[in-house]
Structure 1
Amino acid sequence: MSISIQWYPGHISKAEKNLKEQLKLVDVVLEVRDARIPLASHHPQVKNWIGNKPRILILNRLDMVPESVRQDWLKWFRGQGETVYYTNAKEGQGIRAISKAAQEVGVEINAKRKSRGLLPRPVRAVVIGLPNVGKSAIINRLLNRKVVESARRAGVTRQLRWVRISETLELLDSPGVIPSRLESQEDAVKLAICEDIGDAAYDNQRVAAAFVDLLVKLEYESILKSRYGLDALTMTGEEYIFQLAMTRYKEDRERAALQILNDFRKGIIGAIPLEFPPSDV
C-alpha cells in the first residue's frame, strides 16, 4: 500500500526563513529529535543552517525507548563523533545536563570576549527541531515554569520568541520546521506514526496500517496480539485495521486506526523504538 505524505504550511515556510536569519545571532544550537526515530526526525538542512556553531543533540521521550536501545544509539552517535543527551521533557529528566552543556559554551564565548576587552553576556541558544518533538516542553523545563505553549500536537508554536532562562542563558523558541519536501516516504510515515508532522498530511487508516506492518517487520507483533487479540503475522496491516474494526469498533475503521496510533503515541502499548542504529556491516 503506497502512502504519500507531504505537509508544508505557510507558517512553516515563513518560520524557516526567520529562523535562518535568527541563527546568525545565536551561539549554540539545541537540536531536538524524537528518541523513537532519531534519524527520521532529523531535519537534513540543520547542518547547513548552523555551519560551525556548536550543536547539542537532544533525543526527547527517553521513556518511550528501552534502555538497551538508548545505549545502542549512544554508542552509534559516539561513533559519528556526536554526544547525545536524552531527555523526558514531560518529567524533567535530563534537563540539567542540557543547561550545563549550553552554559559551558557560554564560558568559552565569554573568555574570548574578555580577551578582546568586551563585557560578558548570556549565551544565546536556539531550540530547533521538527513539529511536536518537545521543544517548547524542554524550554519550559529549563525555565522551571511554563512560558511557552506546548501540546501533544504539531504546529503549536507559530512565532519565534526569545526567553531569558537565567543570567547566563537566553533561548530562542522556534516553530517546528520540516523539509519543504519529504524525500523519504519511509521516514515520513514514521513521523506520522509518532505525530511529529501535521495531521492534515496523512490518512490515519493508511498510517495505522503501515504502523502494523512496521511492527511485524521489527518483530514486535506479539505486542499487537496481546493488546488487541489479533495475530498480525496472518494478515497485512490494512487487513489488520479492517479486522480490528470489525471485531471491536462496530466496523469503524477510522476509530480502530486512531486507537492503535494513540495507544502507541501515549506509550500504552509499551516503549517501542521504530528505528535502530544502522549496522556497519
Structure 2
Amino acid sequence: MGITQNYKLNTIQWYPGHIAKAEKQLKEQLKLVDVVLEVRDARIPVSTHHPQLQEWIGNKSRVLVINRFDMILPQTKQAWINWFKRQGEVPYYTNAQHGQGVPAVLKAAQAEGVQLNERRKSRGMLPRPVRAVVIGFPNVGKSALINRILGKRVVESAARPGVTRSLRWVRISDELELLDAPGVIPLKLQNQDAAVKLAICDDIGDASYDNQLVAAAFLDIISYLEAVAPELLPKQALNERYKLDPTEHTGEGYLHALAEHRYKGDVERTARQLLTDYRKGFLGQIPLEIPTQFSGDE
C-alpha cells in the first residue's frame, strides 16, 4: 500500500559503510550454517522480510520466527497465521523477552537437523548436530531469542546492531548447535514504505530519519488501518491515550494539533513522544501491517 508515498523519498537515509560491513558479516555466517532462524517483527511481518534474503540463504533450511506477538491482538496474529499458510509458510510466534513460543522454534530447527542427517547418511557420512544462526533486522529481538534458546544470558542485548564478539558455537542438544552471534540483515531498502515502518518500530539500526515525517506517516497508517480493518486494532487508541480525537486530521495535522494540545507547540518533542509511546506499547496492540494489504502480493 502506498500509504507513505506522499512523504519525501529520502525520508530514511543509510550509511553505506555499515551496510557493506553487515552484508559481508552475514554472508560469512551463512556459509557456516545449515538452518537459518529468520526473526521478524509481529507488527510488520512483511516489512521485516528483506527482499534479498532468499538469495543470501540459497538452499539452506529456514525457520520463520515472528517475534513480539504480545504487541498485536490475538485476532491479528490469527489473520497472519492464515495468510502465511496460504503462502505455504509456517510461522512460529514468539515473545522472546518472556520465552513464549521458543521451545517450538527449537523443535522446528532440530527437525531440520533430522533431514540434514538423513541426507548425510545417504551419502555415507556420519550424523552431526545441525548448525543454526538467528538472523533479522536490527532490534527485532534476535539476542533475546538467542538468550532464551541458550537458557542464560550469553549474548549482549543492545539496541544497536553489531554488539557481538568473535563467532562462537554453543551446543544446545545432541541435535543442535547455535551460533551465539546474531546475523544482522543489511538494511538498504528501495521500498520507502517498508523503511518508514521499520523506523516507526525502531527496527532500523544505523540510519537517520526525520522524526516528524515518520510520526506523521505512523498516524496516517493507523488512520488507514482503522478504516479497512478496525477489528484488528484497539478501539480509539490515540483518543484514549491523548484525549484528542484524530478523526478530522491528516497525520501531519494531528501531530501539530497534539503538539498544541499537550506539548506547548513543540512538534519535534511530540513526534518523539508519539513514537516512544508506540514502541513501548502505551498505545495498545497496534499492527502497522495487516494481511489484506498483501492479498495480491507474493
Change in Cα spacing, 1:150 to 1:223, as seen in structure 2 (3 Å) is same
Q: CA shift at 1:160, angstroms?
A: 6.0
User: Which 5+ residue runs of structure 2 have no aligned equivalent?
Assistant: 1-5, 227-232
Taking the TM superposition and a 5 Å limit, the aligned residue runs for 1:43-192 are 43-151=50-158, 153-158=159-164, 161-167=167-173, 168-172=175-179, 173-180=181-188, 182-192=189-199
The residue number in structure 2 matching 1:275 is: 289
Contact 1:7 1:198 in 2 (8 A): no
- 1:272 and 1:97, CA in 2 relative to 1: closer, same or farther beyond 3 A? same
User: How many pairs are equivalent?
Assistant: 279
SS in 2 for 1:201: strand
CA drift of 1:183 comes to 1.3
Q: Distance in 2 between matches of 1:12 and 1:174?
A: 16
Structure 1: which 4+ aligned runs deviate by more than 6 Å?
none
Aligned-partner SS, 2:13: coil
2:12 aligned counterpart, secondary structure: coil
Could you tell me whether the CA contact under 8 Å between 2:37 and 2:65 is conserved in 1? yes
1:259 aligns with 2:256: no
**2:251 counterpart (227, 233, 237):** 237
**Distance change (3 Å), C-alpha of 1:19 and 1:205:** same
SS of the residue aligned with 1:164? strand
5+ long unaligned stretches in structure 1: none
- Mapped partners of 2:280, 2:54: distance in 1: 31
% identical aligned pairs: 58
Shift of the 199–253 alpha-carbon distance from structure 1 to 2, 3 Å rule, reads farther
Alignment of 1:178-257 (within 5 A): 178-180=186-188, 182-198=189-205, 200-219=207-226, 222-257=236-271
Give the letter aligned to residue 279 of structure 1: S
Q: Which of the residues 40, 46, 49 maps onto 1:42?
A: 49
Amino acid at match of 2:265: E
In structure 2, the CA distance between the partners of 1:199 and 1:231, relative to structure 1 (3 Å rule), is farther
Normalised TM-score (structure 1): 0.92
Deviations 1:205-254, CA, capped at 9 Å, x for gaps: 21111111111111168211121111212222222222222221222222
Deviation at 1:199? 6.3
The one-letter code sitting in structure 2 at the alignment partner of 1:184 is N
SS of aligned partner of 2:80? helix
Distance 1:201 1:159 in 2: 25
